[in-house]
Structure 1
Amino acid sequence: MQDAALRLETLLEQLLGAPLPVRLRAWDGSEAGPPGAPTLVVRNRRALRRLLWKPGELGLARAWVAGDLTVDGDLYAVLELISGLVWERGEDARGLGETLRDPEARAAVRGLVRMAWPPLPPAPPREEVRRRSHLHTKRTDRRAISHHYDVGNDFYEIVLGPSMVYSCAYWPTPDATLEDAQRDKLELIARKLDLKPGGRLLDVGCGWGSMAIHAAREHGVSVVGVTLSHEQAAYARKRVADEGLTDRVEIRVQDYRDVADGPYDAISSVGMAEHVGSERYLEYARTLFALLKPGGRLLNHQIGRRPRRDESAYEVDEFIDAYVFPDGELAPIGSTVTQLESAGFEVRDVESIREHYALTLRHWVANLEAGWPLAVRLTSPGRARVWRLYMAASALAFEHNGISVNQVLAVKTPGSGASGMPLRARTWG
């Protein structure tokens, strides 16, 4: 009788119609696959049941988060090798229904069911959230933000390091420190917004207060930072007090739609607009436009995806939606620019810095791996595995141009047409 790994390899290759690019280690200790290749470890039969009941990304994610599936070796290498089978098959790839019209594929599924016996669907890991309606009401947005950001400030300190900035850094060189690159990103935003002493800045989605503190300390502005996370707000207020900036920085637990004390000279929105939702995006842009004084600037720093053939069809990344950013949505940069201009903004500069995000994520993964025992104690083994997979897969997505991140500088240009921008604007770096 064949051992489990060899039997599993044979059935998966029969089902997929392609050789497995990784080595397999099964629950009985047996191994099969290309010698020297990175190893995917199937720790129990429950992993197969998860994959059979939810073929594709979500089944793999559930098996990973539950600890039923793991990697021996370089996680990036395994993700690179299996991406073509899971994430990059494209719109022209055969769907499961078409695949199972093949008699050999049906036989492979029957064989996998026998290996996975008993064929009962395991409960999803407790870290999974129930799919919502993507209405992006104030209540659902608060709940989604809490799921992602109220994991614990101590956990985020491990991942993000001393800068406590949870967005793409701006790297002068690949071997710079994460802290230096994050400081350079904050300064880049401040220069693009042309912050000056005595001005007012609204920081939408202020996180742990890093942008607000930098703007007040280095550029002399008064800052209002808003977040929906109570844990972030408490942490940010303590940092502001420790810096002696309570007279210039106010941190609020407040929805951006409820800010009513404009006008502001500038608005920074860094890593927040991904939570807004496509149906609410024009409302978001109009709200920020109304909060700016004439000539005021908006810096919108946002992850974007590649355009689809059919933009009318709603699609969601099942793993991200279930475990990382509930109700999050990515849009192509063209859609973002169009919505900002529809709200009245004049878009003056668009800069893609996707390679910078890949570097940032690799540093966050390294931080998490270095602090793994403490990260697990602070959250849960499943939550730590979610973050490791999400950040490593995202790093590869940025490196391969699957997603990007863009800084859009927009101006509330007054009726006179005087934008206040210099003739040669790109003096910020």
Structure 2
Amino acid sequence: MGDKATIADSFGPLLRATLGPRPAVSFEFWDGSRIRPDGDSAGTMRVRSVDALRHLVWAPGELGLGRAFVSGTVDLDGDIFLMLRALQSTAPNDARLGAGAAWRAIGAARELGALGRRPPRPPEEARPQRGPLHTKRRDAAAISHHYDVGNDFYRLVLGPSMTYSCARFVPDDDGSLETAQRAKHDLICRKLGLSEQSGMRLLDVGCGWGSMAIHAASTYGAQVVGVTISREQVELARRRVAEAGLSGKVEIRLADYRDLRGEGFDAISSIGMFEHVGSKRAAEYFDTLRALLRPRGRLLNHAISSPGGSVMRSRSFVGRYVFPDGELVDVGEVALAMERAGFEVRDVEALREHYARTLRQWVANLENDWEQAVSLAGAGRARIWRLYMAASALGFEDGGLGIHQVLGVVPEATGNAGMPATRRSWG
């Protein structure tokens, strides 16, 4: 290109200002120019168009970068886990640009022609909703955004178990995701005290595609009511129940937990549901579930947590593309909210290493059948799932994210909770 400046020449100072002097990944730009690390590269970030920079100009930070990735104007070529970890480890702790760097960024953007029109937002993006958080209508829209993207796409990612929550890998098992998900369901059934002979009545809140309900009914003889507000989940869950020959034992309802009134249950499972409730609705949530349980009834709340809590803001990638209005509540606050609702908290178990392993298998499923995933859900949606699942796996590995099963019981007036003396009964 002679003496003419390349994209890398113009972009390099800005890149180093935001990612540190020695980025651990390579960068390749649309004119073919490159920026390489001093040592080994964890992979290549390909910036395919000036629109990638326009996304960052119009929405600086995480949201703009997310839009560039979802639109395909930025791509990651290599082991996504290594690349994300490398970028995380080399970026400065304070990602804000100083005044000098900010002016250089504006100059570089002008030189590259990135100060023009606003690029269109990717169609997969959820627009921020108006009105109070966690109304029934707003929750239904948020749930539909995430879960109603195609049952076949979820089957490809999740595998035969169709279970969208942390698995539990037992050392002596075969290590497969399907076996680990079955082990998780079985652990929850044992914690809830389900018995093969008793025909206990179980409520599964946020039942997904019915996997927990099917396991509890087929293995422990439970009479199960599963509720979800995802229409696509209801359709497939009912079909799976019928195919398992369990229509007389499992009922799947399209219903919000706030509509559950006047029924009695011996046990309640809430698996991967509480993240959609929000801390301000936690009291209402646990009060509602408490009112549905008979004396000595148990609740197992299985949910992602974050030390100190974390709200998925609308300017974040996860808040805009993955879990609109989602919130991760500190496990201590969860236990306290359960106690205030009248539960006696009897057990808390952390499973974060298991979730990291689960997510890595989901990413492998997606990458191994990438073309089919794109044909089912579109390239943008497939990109979203690849990035958020890989980043989440790293969050569970480094402790930034946690996941806990909190077991509560409703004691009788005498104080009898009907609980075993030790954990031995559920292993």
Shorter-chain TM band: over 0.9
- Quick one: which of 44, 52, 60 aligns to 1:47? 52
Change in CA separation of 1:387 and 1:104 when aligned onto 2, cut-off 3 Å: closer
Change in CA separation of 1:21 and 1:374 when aligned onto 2, cut-off 3 Å: same
Counterpart of 1:287, as a letter, is T
User: Does 2:4 match 1:5?
Assistant: no
Indicate conservation of the 8 Å contact 2:125/2:320, yes or no: yes
Indicate conservation of the 8 Å contact 1:276/1:329, yes or no: yes
- Residue 142 of structure 1 and its aligned partner are, at CA, apart by 1.0
Aligned to 1:78: 83
Aligned to 1:179: 178
Identity %: 52
Indicate conservation of the 8 Å contact 1:299/1:407, yes or no: yes
User: Does 2:236 match 1:235?
Assistant: yes
- Residue 116 of structure 1 and its aligned partner are, at CA, apart by 3.8
Question: 1:170-208, CA deviations, whole angstroms, 9 ceiling, x for partnerless residues?
Answer: 001396000000000000000000102311000000000
Q: How does 1:180-199 map to 2 (within 5 A)?
A: 180-196=179-195, 197-199=198-200
- Residue 119 of structure 1 and its aligned partner are, at CA, apart by 2.8
Counterpart of 2:210, as a letter, is G
Q: d(CA) in 2 for partners of 1:175 and 1:396?
A: 24
Moved more, 314-323 or 271-280: 314-323
Q: d(CA) in 1 for partners of 2:299 and 2:208?
A: 18
Change in CA separation of 1:104 and 1:211 when aligned onto 2, cut-off 3 Å: closer
User: Does 2:36 match 1:33?
Assistant: yes
Aligned to 2:143: 145
- Residue 72 of structure 1 and its aligned partner are, at CA, apart by 1.5
Aligned to 1:253: 254
Counterpart of 2:61, as a letter, is G
Q: Residue 349 of structure 2: SS of its match in structure 1?
A: strand
Q: d(CA) in 1 for partners of 2:315 and 2:189?
A: 33
Aligned to 2:305: 304
User: Does 2:352 match 1:335?
Assistant: no
TM-score, reference length from structure 2: 0.93
Q: How does 1:19-418 map to 2 (within 5 A)?
A: 19-34=22-37, 36-37=40-41, 38-84=43-89, 89=93, 93=94, 95-96=96-97, 99=98, 101=99, 103-132=100-129, 133=131, 135-173=133-171, 176-196=175-195, 197-307=198-308, 318-418=316-416
Change in CA separation of 1:387 and 1:315 when aligned onto 2, cut-off 3 Å: closer
Q: Residue 416 of structure 1: SS of its match in structure 2?
A: coil
Counterpart of 2:183, as a letter, is D
Indicate conservation of the 8 Å contact 2:81/2:391, yes or no: yes
Q: d(CA) in 2 for partners of 1:51 and 1:404?
A: 30
Indicate conservation of the 8 Å contact 1:43/1:68, yes or no: yes
Indicate conservation of the 8 Å contact 1:14/1:105, yes or no: no
Q: Residue 300 of structure 2: SS of its match in structure 1?
A: strand
Q: d(CA) in 2 for partners of 1:104 and 1:151?
A: 41
Counterpart of 2:243, as a letter, is D
Q: d(CA) in 1 for partners of 2:208 and 2:257?
A: 13
Counterpart of 1:355, as a letter, is E
Indicate conservation of the 8 Å contact 1:208/1:233, yes or no: yes
Aligned pairs, number: 418
Q: d(CA) in 1 for partners of 2:225 and 2:17?
A: 59
Question: 1:401-422, CA deviations, whole angstroms, 9 ceiling, x for partnerless residues?
Answer: 0101100000011221111111
Indicate conservation of the 8 Å contact 2:23/2:90, yes or no: no
- List gaps (5 residues or longer) in structure 2: none
Indicate conservation of the 8 Å contact 1:15/1:109, yes or no: no
Q: d(CA) in 1 for partners of 2:18 and 2:368?
A: 38
- List gaps (5 residues or longer) in structure 1: none
- Residue 361 of structure 1 and its aligned partner are, at CA, apart by 0.4
Instruction: Compute the RMSD of aligned alpha carbons.
Output: 2.0
User: Does 2:426 match 1:424?
Assistant: no
Q: d(CA) in 2 for partners of 1:234 and 1:175?
A: 31
Change in CA separation of 1:427 and 1:267 when aligned onto 2, cut-off 3 Å: same
Q: Residue 203 of structure 1: SS of its match in structure 2?
A: strand
